[in-house]
Amino acid sequence: MRSFRASQRASGAAPTTCRRSLRTPNAVGHSASGGTGLIKLIATDVDGTLLNHRQELTAGVEEAVKAARELGVPLVVATGKARGPWVADVLPRLGLDTPGVFLQGLLVYDAEGRRLYDQRLPDDVARDCIELAEREGVTLTAYCGERILCAATDAHTDRLNFYKEPPPEAVGDMRRQVGVTEMHKMIFMADQSKIDALRPHAEALLGGRASLTTALTGMLEVLPLGASKGEGLRWLLAHLGVEPQHVMALGDGENDVEMLQLAGLGVAMGNAGPKAKAAADVVLDETNDQDGVAAAIRAYVLEPRVATVSVQA
């Protein structure tokens, strides 16, 4: 069976966005399993989705993830974060033995933390980002695998500690790191008003050479051209032998758009931003503080399987 989007493309209809609450699962053409048969894999963002606003994994979400796993539906994380200290707090509780997508799709690790896929930022882009940050007076961080580098730590780099990222390392002149240290992505950090003013300049400077996205307020991320969580997840699905139409993806931010569009069923949290909601098939009533991930798993993974067993019986 084809996904709703695939059916539209085949019929020549223009793609539309299907937005509904979990309370009306069949309102717009998807079955409770996403219109593609039972969901076989769950891919979820972390901050603002899997975790609540206090960076906590709730018991409700933990229980739902484990219940899905017991039914043969594993979960993979797909995050913009590095594989940092937060991993030890979250992944063991979920009992995950699956690979994961990190750094906006630029790194894919297996369950033991070995790299399966690696994409890096071109040196000329990195140098231009450093010069732009200095010219505009904004903070810049460079994500280098499991390290985060910056010229000097400040209130903006300190924000990353809340998300349990690797502690930012002050290295002085960032130019000295280009071509010597692996750089996967860079993040401009400032007050949101300054980021809003900076983005057009960054787009003009880096257009055709890099991709820009936003995951958190006050941050503008620079990625290799064409990179996204969606592309990282696409690689991982091919590696696992899972078709995208059998995936449920969950997210809340601009950086989740491509992933939500790739999956057979894209689910936006109730707290999601406008771009994520527009890209999703389902917009939850529940936020990440209301166990939205658990609500989606119950409605689109657990309940369809119970219904299938009941019919077969």
Contact criterion met (CB below 8 Å) for 292 and 276? no
Interval 107-149: pLDDT, tens? 999 999 999 999 999 999 999 999 999 999 999 999 999 999 9
Q: What local confidence, expressed as pLDDT, does residue 182 receive? A: 96
Contacts of 191 (CB under 8 A, 6+ apart): 218
SS3 assignment for 118-145: ECCCCHHHHHHHHHHHHHHCCEEEEEEC
Q: What local confidence, expressed as pLDDT, does residue 138 receive? A: 98
Q: What local confidence, expressed as pLDDT, does residue 82 receive? A: 98
- Extract the tokens encoding 225: 């051209």
Query: Fold for domain 41-119+228-311?
Result: Rossmann fold (3.40.50)
Q: What local confidence, expressed as pLDDT, does residue 193 receive? A: 98
Distance from C-alpha of 205 to C-alpha of 183, rounded to nearest angstrom? 19
78 DSSP 8-state letter: B
Residue closest to 174 by CA, chosen among 155, 161, 163, 187 = 187
Chunk the chain into consecutive blocks of 10 residues (it has 313) and report each block's average pLDDT, rounded to whole numbers: 32 34 35 59 98 98 97 97 96 95 98 96 98 98 98 98 97 97 98 98 97 97 98 98 97 98 98 98 98 98 78 55
List, edge to edge, every strand of the sheet that includes 265-268: 75-77, 41-44, 247-251, 265-268, 282-283
Domain ranges within the chain, ordered by starting residue? 41-119+228-311, 123-224
Interval 210-257: pLDDT, tens? 999 999 999 999 999 999 999 999 999 999 999 999 999 999 999 999
Q: φ and ψ at 215, to 5 degrees? A: -115, -40
Residue closest to 141 by CA, chosen among 130, 128, 127 = 130
29 DSSP 8-state letter: S
Q: What local confidence, expressed as pLDDT, does residue 31 receive? A: 42
Q: The dihedral of CA 295, 298, 301, 303: what is its sign?
A: negative
Contact criterion met (CB below 8 Å) for 165 and 86? yes
Using DSSP bridges, classify how beta strands 185-189 and 219-224 pair: parallel, antiparallel or unpaired.
Answer: antiparallel
Amino acid present at 172? G
Query: Fold for domain 123-224?
Result: 3.30.1240
289 DSSP 8-state letter: G
Q: φ and ψ at 139, to 5 degrees? A: -75, 145
**How far is C-alpha 247 from the chain's CA centre?**
14
